[in-house]
A and B are shown apart, each in its own frame.
Chain A
Amino acid sequence: MFRAILRILTDLKPVLRPPGAVKESEFLKRCIRCRRCVEVCPFRSIKVIKSRIDKQTGTPVIVPREVPCYLCMKCPPECPTGALKPIREKQEVRMGIARLNNETCLPYQGILCRACYERCPFYREAIILRDEIYPEVVEDKCVGCGICENVCPNEEPSIVVIGRRTDGR
């Protein structure tokens, strides 16, 4: 199950890196695949790409549907090579960005649901409710922790976090 998810996720670029990751091309150069971020995460959020042999082998990823990032900020200072840069405030994290699928999201289908809205660590900032019903992602505030994707009650999550690649932080 876990390996299947990893495989799907690794084929679906770009992957979600731990918080503080420098931009992807830089990240692959700096990360020595030592798993220290994995071994310092108290939530066991960080997994490792192991299903293939290429530049991404052994690099850390977060699979929000398994365990999202709870933004404890323990991993960035642990990185010995600067692939993860220390971050002071969790608002500054830019791991990824949540994308909402209006076609499957329950409120848009007429079923009341506030799972992502209520669990978002930036309550009423990163996910807002339009007309008190329809959830919407505020791109400037979303850090990409993946908690929304984790709690989405749909079997295929209607809100999915995609790794940010343009912005380093």
Chain B
Amino acid sequence: MDAELKSNLINILIRKRRWFQWASLSFLALIPVLYLNKIYLIRGNYFSLGIWKAEFMDPVFVLQNLLINFGLTTAMIMGILIPALIAFFTGKTFCSFVCPYNLVAELLAKLIGKKEKTTKTVSFMKAKYYWLIFGGWLVLTAIAAFPLIYFFSMPGQISVFLGDLILFKAAGLESLIILGVLLIDLLILRRAWCRLICPVGAMLQRFHAPFGLRVKFEETSCLCDFDNSPCQKSCPLYLDPKQKNLYPFCYNCGECTTICARYGQALSMKFNLKKPALKN
């Protein structure tokens, strides 16, 4: 009963995902508007956020600071707690529910995708490469010796773009990076930014517990054509949810489980709290 209630709740949240995404984008625009109205309750953006006395900070920026300055501040330690805890239990849900870049990319991909109707998924890479790319970011940052990821953190760049547009009525050159990443990501790399490259997501995935929220596939319940299934088509990251090595690439948006509910209900989002009983 309890488990059923929990899974229902997860399904409801997943179906309201767009709502969360738009709320997140409006929240970013709200911060500078509040400031202009002399309300200083919420300061910052998705690099670092202060709500009254509570601190939030992008974990990859904490790691970056550790690499460049060899130290942490109390605000960083406090700020990393909640993002790390959310990632620990639910994986990269920041990417699928909050990140404004993903919202824009998903909407644009839908617009472009209608013409092509591509169903082909991206062939899987090994998880090793995912972490190698993340390591590459860290090495680059250490060599540059200044917060280089500032330019490539898409949630941060979009929040800064919105904030500066409202506060100063000016857009900086660095905002062109958003456009560049968006173009390459959508037209050439087929959403590889969110799936593979983004350092913000990779850092969050690092915290994802093995028993945290994951997409589960029960082969016996699957009714669809294996190579051309609705779940495959629904995945915004061009993944095939039926495959075993879905992580670290999947960001738990749950689109595949929603679509699968109309077919065999082979896919579901579950916490894997029970110990695996498979080992006999």
Contact = CB atoms under 8 A, between A and B. Distances in A.
Interface of A: 2-3, 28-36, 38-40, 42, 47-48, 50-53, 55, 57-58, 78-82
Given A30-B65, A81-B76, A40 B43 contact: yes
B173 A32 contact: no
20 contacts: A29-B68, A29-B147, A32-B48, A32-B150, A33-B47, A33-B150, A35-B163, A36-B44, A39-B31, A39-B40, A40-B43, A50-B171, A50-B172, A50-B174, A57-B173, A58-B172, A80-B50, A80-B57, A80-B76, A81-B75
Interface string B23-43: 000000001100100101001
Contact of B145 (A29, A42, A57, A78): A29
Name B's interface SS: helix
B106 interface: no
Given A42-B38, A53-B173, A36 B146 contact: no
Contact of A80 (B32, B35, B79, B163): B79
Contact of B174 (A28, A36, A42, A57): A57
Contacts of A42: 38, 40
B90 interface: no
A40 B40 contact: yes
A38 B79 CA distance: 19
A81 B43 contact: no
Sorting the interface of chain B by its residue count into under 10, 10 to 19, 20 to 34 or 35 or more gives: 35 or more
Nearest to A38: B167
A30 B172 contact: no
B213 interface: no
B185 interface: no
Given A33-B160, A80-B76, 10 more contacts: A29-B146, A30-B65, A30-B68, A32-B48, A32-B147, A34-B47, A39-B163, A57-B150, A81-B48, A81-B65
Contacts of B43: 36, 39-40, 78
A33 B148 CA distance: 11
A70 to B, nearest CB: 15
A129 B50 CA distance: 44
Contacts of B146: 28-29, 55
A52 B55 CA distance: 30
| Listed residue (A31, A38, A39, A55) with the most chain B CB atoms within 10 angstroms of its CB | A39
Interface in B57-76: 57, 61, 64-65, 68-69, 73, 75-76
B168 A80 contact: no
Chain A to chain B: the 3 pairs with minimum beta-carbon distance, closest first: A50-B172, A80-B75, A34-B47
